[in-house]
Amino acid sequence: MAKTPTPREQARQRTIAEILRIGREQLAKEGAAALSLRAVARELGVVSSAVYRYVASRDELLTLLVVEAYTELGDRVDAAVDAAPGTPFERFAALARAVREWALAEPARYGLLFGAPVPGYHAPAEQTTAPGTRVVARLAGILEQAWAVQGGGSADDDGAGPGGRLPAQLAADLETIRREYGLTIPVQLLARGITVWSGLFGAVNFEVFGQYGRGTFTDPAAYFELVIRQLAAQVGIPEGPG
């Protein structure tokens, strides 16, 4: 049974939540590089030293915002995939649409995760890796499902497929990833899955950051649906029931 927070702990949680809210507003207005604990303190109506009792530095605040954003994105993707029909294509499409929709609704926070690095800031892996890999882990699960639906095969396939045989070191790296995530798909399919992952976020980046150019696509959502179908085809996920 979960322990009920004390009034003091509840007050601390509320203050941290307020600091994060102000941090999100700063991201949207000024950008991550301009994030300032002094500005947070002014917004809270307290002296700067009071904020440091809750957040030790700008970098710690950035990390809290990164973890919060990754968690929200992961939750949004999980909810969309879980609600989708059971076919691999519909689950993949739900994942892709959820990423795009969250990114367009939260461009500043998406930019913190996938945009230009913040000068002088290095995200601590021990805090950010787990939430930051939720979407790609969900994608890997969909690839596993699609592989199983189509009958599977040998997990030792080292690359005799589209794109040619993989170089030995790359195949070894992919094998490490495959084992780390407990996957049964062959490394060649995993390699194509990683290109799909980068292609999905590349398409979202282009739209969020205006890289297609203003007015290029009258209906960006329709173009994104084409991206979904093409990326699915790269990893052999059929649009039909299979």
**165-177 per-position pLDDT tens digit:** 899 999 999 999 9
Model confidence, pTM = 0.91
Q: What is the mean pLDDT of residues 60-82?
A: 98
Q: Is the pLDDT of residue 242 over 70?
A: no
15: Cβ contacts below 8 Å, ≥ 6 apart: 44, 54
What percent of the chain shows pLDDT beyond 90? 84
CA–CA dist 98, 76 (Å, integer): 6
CA–CA dist 231, 175 (Å, integer): 22
pLDDT of residue 237: 94
What percent of the chain shows pLDDT beyond 70? 93
Helix (H, G, I), strand (E, B) or coil at 25: helix
**What structural domains and CATH numbers belong to the chain?**
1-56 (1.10.10), 68-235 (1.10.357.10)
**166-208 per-position pLDDT tens digit:** 999 999 999 999 999 999 999 999 999 999 999 999 999 999 9
pLDDT of residue 2: 62
CA–CA dist 86, 96 (Å, integer): 15
In degrees and rounded to multiples of 5, residue 110 shows phi and psi of -60, -40
CA–CA dist 40, 61 (Å, integer): 10
Exposure string of 187-208, with b = 16+ CB inside 10 Å and e = fewer, is bbbbbbbbebbeebbebbbbbb
**93-128 per-position pLDDT tens digit:** 999 999 999 999 999 999 999 999 999 999 999 999
Contact between residue 175 and residue 189 where contact means Cβ atoms under 8 Å apart: no
CA–CA dist 12, 76 (Å, integer): 27
Q: Is the pLDDT of residue 31 over 80?
A: yes
